[in-house]
Amino acid sequence: MELLNNWRLILLLCLTLGLAPFFPEPHIWGKIKWIAGGAVGMKAADWFDVLFHGIPFLLLLRLLIVKLKKSK
């Protein structure tokens, strides 16, 4: 549980796994644009890829919510 509350680790995951490969654009950004465009032609592997690259950002969101709740 300690790892899930480690800011440095979560940010490192977001900047590496979450955004990789970086060029020509971050991979997750391309997938989000594809989904926003209707997700035409997306296969199961593409959805898994969205989940795989999106998990670090979900962990960051979770950590933000936990920290905000503790501060209140």
C-beta separation of 4 from 59 below 8 A: yes
**pTM of the entire predicted model:** 0.83
Tokens of 9: 């680790």
Which residue type occupies 14?
Answer: C
Sequence-ordered list of residues with C-beta below 8 angstroms from that of 66, at least 6 positions apart, any chain: 5
| pLDDT, tens only, 17-29 | 888 888 888 989 9
pLDDT mean across residues, the chain? 91
Extents of the domains making up the chain: 3-71
